[in-house]
C-alpha cells in the first residue's frame, strides 16, 4: 500500500510539473497578446505626437491616452516584472527586472506629474519598454521547452496486474499486492511483473528495454528475471524476489532522479554580468539626476536625462540574446533531425572533449543480421534447409536467418523441436537436420573438422555462430551479429579528426567489444559493464568535474548515464525514457547527428556570445551619450528597440552556418 501511494505521489508530481511548465508558457503568451493590443496603438500615437510633433487632440488629452494605454501594459501584464524588480530594492539582489521596473514606473509617473508642469511627459515610453520586455520573456519561456517526464515514462513501464499461483489456482491481483515469495505466472508475450527467479518453465526473455541488448536471453529454472521485461515464447513461473521500491525498475527511477543534478545554466554568463551591471547603472542614474538638477536647476530636464540613462541601459536585448539564438538554433536542428530538449546543452557542448557511446542500438542497429556464411556444398541448398527449419522458431537469430534465406517456398519439416539456448532440430524428408551452437554439436557428437577455423574466426569477432548439420555432418556455418550502422564509421572518424576522445561502453565481453570498436574506429572501450553501472562509469570519466562528457545512448539502462553526462544525446529510435532523459535527441538515430549536434551547438553558442557582446557594447557606447544629456528618452527607447532588432537579426544569421 505504501509503495502504491509513493508511485501515485510521484506520478501526480510529474503531471503537476508538466502543467506548471505549460501554464508558464501560456501565461507569457496571454501577456504578450494583451500588451501588444495596447502597445500597437500606443507606439503609433508616440510616433505621431512625439516624433512627428503632431498634437492629435490636446497635450492634456494625448497624455491621458498614453496613461490609459500604458497602464494595463505596465501594471497588469507587467505587474510580475514590476513586483520582482522592486523587490531588489529592499533585498539588495538586483536583476534585469530592477531596471525595467524603475525605468517604466518613473517614465509612467512623468505623465501624471506633467499635469502639474513639474516634468515633461515620457509616459508612452513606459508601455513601449514593458511590451518589448514581455515579448522577450515569452520567447524565453517557449525556448525552455516542456518539463522532462522521464520518471512518469518509467513508471508507465511497470505492470499493473499480476497472475499468481495460490493453492493451485490462478488469481489476478494488483501489482501492489504481490509479496516476496509469490509465484507469478507469465504467459508468452506478457511483461514480467516484478524481479524474481524462474522456478518452472523455459523461455526467451526480451530484456532490451532494460539492457539495450537486442538478443533475447534464454531463461530456465534457477535464472533471474527483471520486472517489465517481456516473456517471448513460453510460460514462466516466476517467484518474486523483489517488489515495490526494491525492484530494478525502481532502482533505475532512483538513479535518474539522483542524476538530475543542475547543469550549467545557459543564462549564467548574462546573469553574472547583469548582477554587477544593474547596481552600477542605478548608481549612475542617481548621480546623473543629481548632477543635472544641481547644475541646471531644472527638475524636468534632470529627470528626463535620468530616464534616458535607465531606458538606454535597460538590457532588453540582453533578455533576448540567449532565447532568440536558442530558438533559431532549435529550428535549424529540427530540420536536421537534432532536437534540442535542454538549452543548457548548447553552452555545455563546447566544453565536451569525451564522447561515450552505448553499443547496441547506437553504434549498431540493435537488430541481428546474417553477416557471414561458409559452406562446402551448394549455398542455395544450405539456405533452403536452414530457412525451412528456422521458420518455425520465433527467436531473433532464427528470424535473421529466415530473412537472409529469402525463400518463397519452404520445405516440409517434421518432428521440429526447439533446444533451448542451443538451437533447433527436425527432419526434412528422412534427413535429420540440427542447427545450433558448438554445445549442441558436441552433444550430438557432430565433428567440426574442416569448419573449425571458420567457426573460431566468426566467434572471435563476437558473432553468434550457428552450425548447420545434416545427418550428423556439418554442411554450413552461419554467423549472425548486430550489424554496425552504415554511417557509424564516418561519424567516429570525424570525431577522431576533431580531436574528441571517443569511448564505447557495453555489457559485452572484452573480445566482442574490441571487434565492434575496431570496425568503427574507436580506440577505447569499457566492456563488461552492468546496466546500472553506466552512470557511475560516466561519473568516473568526469573526474570530479575536470572533464565534460557527452553520452550517446538509446535504452532504458542508458537513462541514468544520459542524465549524469554533461550532455546526454539520445537516439530517436530508442526507448521513450532515453529520449526524455537526453538533452539532445537525434530523430534520425544516425551517429552523424552527433557530429552535426556538436557543430550546431558551437554555432548557436557563438551567436549567443555575439548577441551578448552587442547587447553590452551598445550600452557601453549609448550610456555616456545619455549621461551627457544628448539622448531624449524617446530616442533612447527607439535605440533600445533597435538593439533588440539587431540581436534578433544576428541570431537569424545562424541559418547560414554550415552544420
Count CB neighbours of 90 within 10 A. Answer: 7
103 Cα distance to chain centroid = 39
The closest of 454, 449, 463 to 516, measured between CA atoms, is 463
Alpha-carbon distance of 490 to 370, in angstroms, equals 22
Q: How far, in Å, are 329, 450, 451, 651 from residue 324 at the CA level?
A: 9, 67, 64, 6
Strand ranges of the sheet holding 501-505, from the earlier edge strand across to the other edge: 338-340, 584-586, 567-571, 548-553, 352-358, 501-505, 524-526
Those residues with Cβ within 8 angstroms of residue 385's Cβ, 6 or more apart along the chain or in another chain: 411, 428, 433, 468, 470, 475
Those residues with Cβ within 8 angstroms of residue 255's Cβ, 6 or more apart along the chain or in another chain: 532, 535, 559, 560, 563
Contact 363, 504 (CB under 8 A): yes
Alpha-carbon distance of 264 to 349, in angstroms, equals 10
β-partners of residue 239 are: 183, 197
The closest of 553, 548, 550 to 529, measured between CA atoms, is 553
Alpha-carbon distance of 606 to 600, in angstroms, equals 10
Alpha-carbon distance of 351 to 339, in angstroms, equals 20
Helix axis angle, 96-113 to 316-335, nearest 10°? 130
- CA-based R_g, the chain, Å: 34
Annotated catalytic residue: which of 62, 182, 358, 576? 358
HEC secondary structure over 194-232 = CCEEEEECCEEEECHHHHCCCCCEEECCCCEECCCCEEC
Q: Is 62 a catalytic residue?
A: no
The closest of 602, 565, 601, 572 to 587, measured between CA atoms, is 572
Residue with cell 526480451: 206
Q: Give the CA diameter of the chain.
A: 117
Alpha-carbon distance of 126 to 77, in angstroms, equals 12
* DSSP assignment of 254-304: HHHHHT-PPP--TTHHHHHHHHHHHHHHHHHHHHHHHHHHHHH--HHHHHH
The catalytic residues are: 358
Amino acid at each position: 500500500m505504501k509503495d502504491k501511494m509513493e508511485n501515485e505521489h510521484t506520478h501526480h508530481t510529474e503531471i503537476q510539473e508538466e502543467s506548471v511548465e505549460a501554464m508558464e508558457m501560456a501565461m507569457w503568451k496571454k501577456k504578450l497578446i494583451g500588451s501588444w493590443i495596447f502597445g500597437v496603438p500606443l507606439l503609433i500615437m508616440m510616433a505621431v505626437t512625439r516624433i512627428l510633433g503632431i498634437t492629435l487632440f490636446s497635450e492634456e488629452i494625448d497624455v491621458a491616452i498614453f496613461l490609459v494605454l500604458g497602464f494595463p501594459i505596465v501594471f497588469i501584464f507587467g505587474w510580475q516584472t514590476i513586483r520582482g524588480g522592486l523587490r531588489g530594492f529592499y533585498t539588495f539582489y538586483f536583476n534585469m527586472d530592477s531596471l525595467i521596473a524603475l525605468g517604466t514606473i518613473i517614465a509612467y509617473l512623468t505623465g501624471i506629474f506633467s499635469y502639474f508642469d513639474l516634468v515633461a511627459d515620457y509616459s508612452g515610453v513606459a508601455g513601449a519598454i514593458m511590451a518589448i520586455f514581455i515579448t522577450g520573456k515569452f520567447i524565453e519561456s517557449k525556448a525552455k521547452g516542456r518539463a522532462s517526464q522521464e520518471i512518469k515514462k518509467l513508471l508507465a513501464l511497470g505492470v499493473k496486474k499480476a497472475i499468481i499461483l495460490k493453492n493451485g489456482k490462478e488469481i489476478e491481483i494488483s501489482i501492489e499486492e504481490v509479496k516476496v515469495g509469490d509465484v507469478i505466472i507469465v504467459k508468452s508475450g506478457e511483461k514480467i511483473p516484478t524481479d524474481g527467479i524462474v522456478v518452472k518453465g523455459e523461455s526467451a526473455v526480451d530484456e532490451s528495454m532494460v539492457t539495450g541488448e537486442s538478443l533475447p536471453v534464454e531463461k530456465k529454472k534457477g535464472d533471474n528475471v527483471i520486472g517489465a521485461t517481456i516473456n517471448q515464447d513460453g510460460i514462466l513461473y516466476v517467484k518474486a524476489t523483489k517488489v515495490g521500491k526494491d525492484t530494478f525498475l525502481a532502482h533505475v527511477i532512483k538513479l535518474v532522479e539522483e542524476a538530475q543534478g543542475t547543469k550549467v545554466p545557459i543564462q549564467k554568463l548574462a546573469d553574472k554580468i547583469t548582477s554587477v551591471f544593474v547596481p552600477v547603472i542605478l548608481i549612475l542614474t542617481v548621480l546623473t539626476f543629481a548632477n543635472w538638477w544641481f547644475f541646471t536647476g531644472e527638475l524636468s530636464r534632470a529627470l528626463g536625462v535620468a530616464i534616458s540613462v535607465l531606458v538606454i541601459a535597460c538590457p532588453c536585448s540582453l533578455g533576448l540574446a540567449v532565447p532568440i539564438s536558442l530558438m533559431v538554433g532549435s529550428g535549424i536542428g529540427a530540420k536536421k533531425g537534432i532536437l534540442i530538449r535542454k538549452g543548457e546543452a548548447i553552452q555545455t557542448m563546447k566544453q565536451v572533449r569525451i564522447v561515450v557511446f552505448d553499443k547496441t542500438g547506437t553504434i549498431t542497429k540493435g537488430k541481428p543480421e546474417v553477416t557471414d556464411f561458409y559452406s562446402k556444398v551448394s549455398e542455395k541448398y544450405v539456405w533452403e534447409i536452414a530457412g525451412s527449419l528456422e521458420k518455425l522458431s520465433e527467436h531473433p537469430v532464427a528470424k535473421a536467418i529466415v530473412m537472409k534465406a529469402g525463400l518463397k517456398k519452404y520445405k516440409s519439416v517434421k518432428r521440429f523441436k526447439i533446444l533451448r539456448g542451443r538451437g533447433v532440430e527436425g527432419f526434412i524428408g528422412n534427413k535429420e537436420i540440427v542447427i545450433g551452437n558448438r554445445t549442441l554439436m558436441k552433444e550430438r557428437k557432430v565433428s567440426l573438422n574442416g569448419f573449425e577455423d571458420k567457426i573460431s574466426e566468426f566467434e572471435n569477432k563476437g558473432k553468434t555462430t550457428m552450425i548447420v548439420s545434416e545427418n550428423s555432418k556439418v554442411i554450413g556455418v552461419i554467423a549472425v551479429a548486430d550489424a554496425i550502422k552504415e554511417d557509424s564509421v564516418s561519424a567516429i572518424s570525424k570525431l577522431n579528426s576533431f580531436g574528441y576522445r571517443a569511448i564505447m561502453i557495453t555489457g559485452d565481453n572484452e573480445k566482442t567489444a574490441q571487434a565492434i570498436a575496431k570496425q568503427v574506429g574507436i580506440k577505447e572501450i569499457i566492456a563488461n559493464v552492468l546496466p546500472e553501472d553506466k552512470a557511475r562509469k560516466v561519473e568516473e570519466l568526469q573526474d570530479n568535474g575536470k572533464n565534460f562528457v557527452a553520452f550517446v545512448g538509446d535504452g532504458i539502462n542508458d537513462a541514468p548515464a544520459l542524465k549524469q553526462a554533461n550532455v546526454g544525446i539520445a537516439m530517436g529510435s530508442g526507448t521513450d525514457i532515453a529520449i526524455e532523459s537526453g538533452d539532445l535527441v537525434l530523430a534520425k538515430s544516425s551517429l552523424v547527428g552527433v557530429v552535426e549536434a556538436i557543430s550546431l551547438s558551437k554555432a548557436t553558442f557563438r551567436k549567443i556570445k555575439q548577441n551578448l557582446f552587442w547587447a553590452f557594447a551598445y550600452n557601453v557606447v549609448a550610456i555616456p551619450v545619455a549621461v551627457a544629456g544628448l539622448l531624449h528618452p524617446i530616442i533612447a527607447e527607439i535605440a533600445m528597440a533597435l538593439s533588440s532588432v539587431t540581436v534578433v537579426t544576428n541570431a537569424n544569421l545562424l541559418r547560414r552556418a554550415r552544420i
